[in-house]
Amino acid sequence: MLYLVDTVDVETGDADTYLGVVESDVVPVMVEAGAAFEHCRRTSGAIGQPVSVQITWSFADLARWNTVRKNLVLDPRWYASAERLRTMRIGGTRRFYEKTSPDHR
């Protein structure tokens, strides 16, 4: 199993709008493209720093991820939601994680 973890930083005032677009637009498109939605987390905006939003998706392997990517490229809804989110994003990372056990070396 592979996990795609996107961590995006947004200004505190944009956090709720960003999360709304993720819920209404991004989740349905990603799920229809073949990714499984795992979770969405956020940091508090009450500490005087930008909010970090972490969204995790899963899929079987890199071959399945390539299918998801192909499906996204062919879906105009993906471009529309990405553009809406782009205007709010001030930073972030994208990482792929593999499931492992604590004693894995």
In tens, the pLDDT along 88-103 reads 999 999 999 998 877 7
Domain membership of residue 59 as a residue range? 2-97
50 domain residue, yes or no: yes
Q: In this structure, what CATH number is given to the domain that contains residue 43?
A: 3.30.70.100
Q: What pLDDT score does 24 carry?
A: 97
What three-state secondary structure class fits 43? coil
How many Å apart are CA 78 and CA 95, to the nearest integer?
19
Total count of domains within the chain = 1
Q: Is residue 22 part of a domain?
A: yes
Domain assignment of residue 91, yes or no: yes
User: SS3 for 38?
Assistant: strand
Sequence-distant (≥ 6) Cβ neighbours of residue 8 within 8 angstroms: 18, 52, 53, 54, 55, 85, 89, 91, 92
Question: Which pLDDT value is given to residue 99?
Answer: 83
> Within a domain: residue 102?
no
Confidence of residue 105 (pLDDT cuts 50, 70, 90): low
105 belongs to a structural domain: no
pTM for the whole thing? 0.90
